Amino acid sequence: MADSDYVVVHTAPGIHAAKILAGFLESEGVTAKVPGSELSDEFGGAMQMSAAADVIVLRRDLERAREIVAAWVETAAQSPRVDHDAGSSGTTPSIDPSPPSSSNPTNS
């Protein structure tokens, strides 16, 4: 298929979200790609970490893909957000750097 057979169905806030959505579309039978996701040099890596990313689908699948994306976006908007960087109290847990004590007494 020619590149012109593909159209943008959604612009995600980052490469990882775009790849997840493309995978979801694929699981629903819609051929999807994330242009630029195959880049592996320093420039590509920097772009992947900081830029929005398009999800493209075949033109013939566009209407079905729009329905799937709309459901995806609605579900994501209703999902609770989790802060993985904070502990349950909202603070970073501390770690005791001292070695563990031995439960066996040593012979002196």
Q: Cα–Cα distance between 10 and 22 in angstroms, integer?
A: 10
Tell me if 34 is assigned to some domain. Answer: yes
Encode pLDDT of 16-64 as tens digits: 889 999 999 999 999 999 987 776 555 555 555 667 899 999 999 999 9
pTM: 0.63
Residue 85: inside a domain, yes or no?
no
Domain assignment present for residue 98? The answer is: no
* Structure confidence by residue, pLDDT tens digits, 52-104: 899 999 999 999 999 999 998 888 788 776 544 444 444 433 333 444 444 44
Q: Name residues whose C-beta falls within 8 Å of residue 10's C-beta, 6 or more positions apart in sequence.
A: 18, 21, 54, 55, 69, 73
pLDDT, residue 38, reads 72
**Alpha carbons 50 and 64: distance in angstroms, whole number:** 29
Host H or E run for residue 26: helix 15-27
The answer as to whether 82 is a domain residue is no
- By residue range, what is the domain housing residue 18? 3-77
